[in-house]
Amino acid sequence: MTATPPDNDADGRLGPTKVRDLLLWAAAAAVLAWVFVSYNFGDLPIIRWYTSAVLLVLAALEAAAALMVRRRVADDEVGQAQEQLHPVTVARLVALAKASAILGAVAAGAWAAIALYLFRLDDVASANASKVGTVVGAIGGVALAAAALWLEQCCRTPEDPADEGQVANPDVA
């Protein structure tokens, strides 16, 4: 009996990102961030909302890329012609999506842990000033992970008609 690697298909190819794995990354980041902030809270600067809003910008860019790829795939505009979306570009977008999903999960876990730590503190001016920034960061991390998963899904190849018993495209030979 042979065991297949958990993230790979049976033929050794890399599979889609699993939400379970992202939740594990988020949990690990949350634990580490909680420990870090509990020991170093007094030395940390105030976290402004715009410092963590960059995650929302990245999420919007990945969502825009997902819309573009989804439209190109639906219109059968993926190929090696100059006006088509090159398959290597799609592969690069998949790699970006996988990395961004992990970044989003880590950011969401870390910012959420810091936000929970700050909300536990009452009447601390620096904690109150940082609450909005940490909440924006947690939301941005979740948005980035979601946009990355969607981009990865949009980059999947459509089902091969020959696999469903249909005739393959006769123009492609």
Residue range of the domain that includes 60: 47-157
What pTM was estimated for this model as a whole?
0.81
Domain presence at residue 60: yes
- Res 173 pLDDT > 90: no
Q: What is the sign, positive or negative, of the torsion defined by CA atoms of 67, 73, 76, 81?
A: positive
* Mean pLDDT, residues 11-36: 90
Which pLDDT does position 2 carry in this prediction?
45
Which pLDDT does position 126 carry in this prediction?
73
Total domains present in the chain = 1
> Residue 27 is encoded by which pair of tokens?
């949990």
Query: What confidence tier does 107 reach under pLDDT thresholds 50, 70, 90?
Result: very high
Q: Which residues contact 66 (CB under 8 A, 6 or more apart)?
A: 147, 150, 151, 153, 154
- Res 122 pLDDT > 80: no
